[in-house]
Structure formats: structure tokens, C-alpha cells
């Protein structure tokens, strides 16, 4: 167990190191990439460019620049933005993390519960009108872009129907801190949660249904039927548990990606200053310190989510545990 944990930690550090080097080289070593030119602005004189390079340490060799940036990011934590002079990167990212975590965690609860319900009910009533209706609704949910759903929800809740009993409780767009205003936090995020979860409810429901139908044809299910177990117990105890492997795998990948900034469109539509929006703004201005910090943050959550998924395999499926 200790060896497995150490192996995971080494892999995590290695992945983050590799990603940091790749991102750094893209913006510094790619031909034509000159951050000093972006910082100094258009038509800057050679003297101005030289001053900018000296001020930000861009006149040093690339390994030295990388080492200094990593030191200022992880040790001294005084790395500053190239665009917003004086703004420290770590506090800015730290401030954005709770926004993204709140958005993704809430949406994840909705899409897990919704996906399980859709998949189990559709598989249990395979071929019925209910099954066809759920699959049709799931396909519609998968087909609707997140930004379009968000804009429609905003149009209804913030404008057209804001004064009705359905949406009169909806606050203006933005984020409310959980610790200072729990009720405001919940109200501000309910609609973004639903908007982000719709796509994944449809996707997870369809995949779980297909896996359940396939699993229910396995030999161990036939054996369970021969023992006289009820169809409900077979479906919930044997079918769902065996079919959760693909479900959990997808959840780990999607959750890690969304935490790392994949919820950008939802954050933009609902005025949430999360990690995705912060990264997007940094890309617009080539603010390398912010980009590097958010990319490392995203890589950490993606690798950590995959490690957690691997550990959950043994809990969900005894066959995986026996194989180890």
C-alpha cells in the first residue's frame, strides 16, 4: 500500500513537472514567441523591449528563467502577473478556486444522481415508452450546448420571468461566498449547477443504460436468477455495481477536467470568476505566470482524480480487487 501511494505521488510530480516545462517552452522557446513584445505593447522601441526583458528577467537563459519562476511560484509565492503589475498570481488563483469548486461539486451531485436514475430506470424498462422517452430526453440534453442553455436560463430567470414566483428568488449574476452567505451561495449557483449538469446527465444515463443491458446478459446474472433472486436485487446489487466501472471512469476524467477550468463557458455565462475564466483572460493577454499556475493546478486535479478512480475500482468491483 505504501509503495502504491509513493508511486502515485512520484507520478503526480512527474506529470506536473512535464506539463510545466512544456507550457513554459511553448511561450518562451517557440520561434516568434516574445513575451516582452506583448508586455511592452505594439510598436515598442528596442530600448523599451530591453528594459522589459531586464525587469521581468526575460534576458536570462531559459533554464534560469524556468527555475526562477518555479521558485517564485512554489517557494516564495511572490510570482507576479506580467500584465497586471504588482498582482500576485497565487492569491488570484486561490481566490478563483472556491468558485470553480462550488460550481463543479454542485453540478456533479446533480449529474451523478440524475445519470444513475436515468440509466437504471431506462435499463429496467428496456423497450418501453419510458425507456424511449428517457433516451430521447438524454439525447436532447447531450445535444444542447452549455453556453446556449445558460443564456436561455439567464433570459428566463434574469429577465422575462424574473418577477414570477418561479425565478423571483434568483439573485443577480455573480458568486456569493459560502462561508459568509450560505443561502446566497446556494441561490446564485442553483441555475449554473443545472445548466452544467444537463449535458452529463444525458451522457451518463445513456452509457449506464447500455452497460447495464450488457451486464444483465452475463453468466453471473443468469446464475443469480437461477438462485431465485428478484429482478430488482439483481439489477441494483449485481448489475449496477458491475456497470459502474465505466461510469466512475468517465466521472473521474470529466470532474478533473471541469475542476481544472473546463467549466469556462458556464463561468462566463453566469459571471463566475473561476479558474476557467481566469485562464481565458490570461490567454488573451499572454500572461504567462497566470497561465502556468492555472495549468499546473488543472494537471494536479486531473491526475488526482484518475488516482482516486483507480482506488475506487477495487471498492466497486471485487474482480478488480481479486486481480490485484
In a domain, 241, yes or no: yes
What pLDDT shows up at residue 186? 95
DSSP state of 217: T
Residues 185 and 306 in one domain: yes
pLDDT digits (tens, 9 = 90+) for 73-97: 888 888 888 777 778 888 999 999 9
pLDDT exceeds 80 at position 189: yes
Q: Exposure pattern of 238-260 as b/e (b: 16+ CB <10 Å)? A: bbbebbbbebbbbbbebbbbbbb
**Of 45, 76, 107, which residue is a domain's last?**
76
Q: How many domains does the chain have?
A: 2
Residues 58 and 108 in one domain: no
CA neighbor of 92 nearest in space, from 301, 297, 284 = 297
In a domain, 113, yes or no: yes
CATH code of the domain in which 118 resides? 1.10.3720.10
pLDDT digits (tens, 9 = 90+) for 48-71: 777 777 777 777 888 888 888 888
pLDDT digits (tens, 9 = 90+) for 311-321: 777 666 655 55
In a domain, 81, yes or no: no
Least confident of 10-19, 21-30, 40-49, 162-171: 40-49
pLDDT digits (tens, 9 = 90+) for 261-299: 778 889 989 989 899 888 888 888 778 888 888 888 888
Residues 102 and 224 in one domain: yes
**Of 24, 47, 76, which residue is a domain's last?**
76
Residues 42 and 184 in one domain: no
What pLDDT shows up at residue 249? 83
pLDDT band at 185 (very low <50, low <70, confident <90, very high): very high
In a domain, 85, yes or no: no
**Of 28, 51, 76, which residue is a domain's last?**
76
* Residues spanned by the domain of 248: 91-320
Residues 306 and 224 in one domain: yes
Residues 39 and 182 in one domain: no
CB 267 within 8 A of CB 99: yes
pLDDT band at 136 (very low <50, low <70, confident <90, very high): very high
What pLDDT shows up at residue 42? 67
Amino acid at each position: 500500500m505504501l509503495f502504491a501511494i509513493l508511486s502515485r505521488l512520484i507520478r503526480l510530480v512527474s506529470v506536473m513537472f512535464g506539463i510545466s516545462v512544456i507550457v513554459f517552452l511553448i511561450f518562451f522557446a517557440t520561434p516568434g514567441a516574445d513575451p516582452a513584445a506583448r508586455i511592452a505593447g505594439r510598436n515598442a522601441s528596442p530600448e523599451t523591449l530591453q528594459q522589459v526583458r531586464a525587469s521581468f528577467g526575460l534576458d536570462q537563459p531559459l533554464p534560469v528563467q524556468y527555475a526562477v519562476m518555479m521558485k517564485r511560484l512554489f517557494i516564495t509565492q511572490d510570482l507576479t502577473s506580467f500584465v497586471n503589475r504588482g498582482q500576485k498570481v497565487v492569491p488570484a488563483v486561490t481566490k478563483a478556486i472556491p468558485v470553480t469548486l462550488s460550481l463543479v461539486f454542485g453540478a456533479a451531485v446533480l449529474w451523478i444522481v440524475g445519470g444513475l436514475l436515468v440509466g437504471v430506470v431506462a435499463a429496467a424498462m428496456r423497450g418501453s415508452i419510458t425507456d424511449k422517452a428517457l433516451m430521447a430526453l438524454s439525447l436532447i440534453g447531450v445535444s444542447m450546448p452549455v453556453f446556449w442553455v445558460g443564456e436561455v436560463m439567464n433570459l428566463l430567470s434574469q429577465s422575462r420571468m424574473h418577477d414570477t414566483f418561479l425565478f423571483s428568488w434568483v439573485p443577480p449574476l455573480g458568486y456569493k461566498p459560502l462561508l459568509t452567505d450560505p443561502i446566497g451561495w446556494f441561490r446564485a449557483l442553483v441555475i449554473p449547477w443545472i445548466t452544467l449538469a444537463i449535458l452529463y446527465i444525458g451522457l451518463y444515463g445513456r452509457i449506464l443504460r447500455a452497460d447495464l443491458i450488457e451486464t444483465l446478459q452475463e453468466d453471473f446474472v443468469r446464475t443469480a436468477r437461477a438462485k431465485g433472486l428478484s429482478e430488482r436485487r439483481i439489477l441494483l446489487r449485481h448489475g449496477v455495481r458491475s456497470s459502474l466501472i465505466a461510469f466512475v471512469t468517465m466521472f473521474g476524467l470529466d470532474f478533473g477536467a471541469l475542476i481544472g477550468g473546463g467549466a469556462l463557458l458556464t463561468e462566463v455565462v453566469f459571471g463566475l470568476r473561476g479558474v476557467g475564466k481566469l485562464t481565458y483572460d490570461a490567454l488573451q493577454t499572454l500572461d504567462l505566470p497566470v497561465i502556468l499556475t492555472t495549468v499546473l493546478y488543472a494537471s494536479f486535479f486531473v491526475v488526482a482524480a484518475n488516482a482516486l478512480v483507480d482506488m475506487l475500482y477495487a471498492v466497486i468491483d471485487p474482480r478488480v480487487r481479486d486481480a490485484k
